[in-house]
Amino acid sequence: MEISGNIYEELAIFRNSCILGAVMMALYDGIRLFRRVIPHGTVWVSVEDFCYWMIFGAALFVLMYRENDGALRGYIIGGTAAGILLYYLLVGTRLVKWLSSWIFRIKKRLKKSAKEVTMKLHHLFKK
């Protein structure tokens, strides 16, 4: 039994949509990490989310346009969702927790060092 070349093309598109989903989720994890390190209000969170979804929508449109002449296919949406889900379950949650704890430790050390330097400068100029 011979497999059609069309199926290979569709599998390649499915693979690319999975990769797109994973990359977009990794980008959102970067935004989540930024929000943990530098907390900010609802307005900025909304602006970040809006920009993210505009980029995500444009990237999905470009994928569909390049790979499938703009036709909406279920396997493209399914592949994107699968990429998002696989990244989130396998990498995302642990990576964000690990990176944010690492960044908070560095931030704590920098605050401690800055406090020590400030106290020494205060002592120096007090004399």
Per domain, the residue ranges of the chain are 5-100
pLDDT digits (tens, 9 = 90+) for 45-95: 999 999 999 999 999 988 888 887 777 788 889 999 999 999 999 988 888
- Residue 109's SS3 state is helix
Tell me the whole-structure pTM to 2 decimals. 0.71
- Look at the alpha carbons of 23, 26, 32, 36 in this order and tell me if their dihedral is positive or negative: negative
Is 23:80 a contact under the CB 8 Å cutoff? no
Distances (CA, A) of 79 to 12, 69, 73, 99: 11, 17, 10, 27
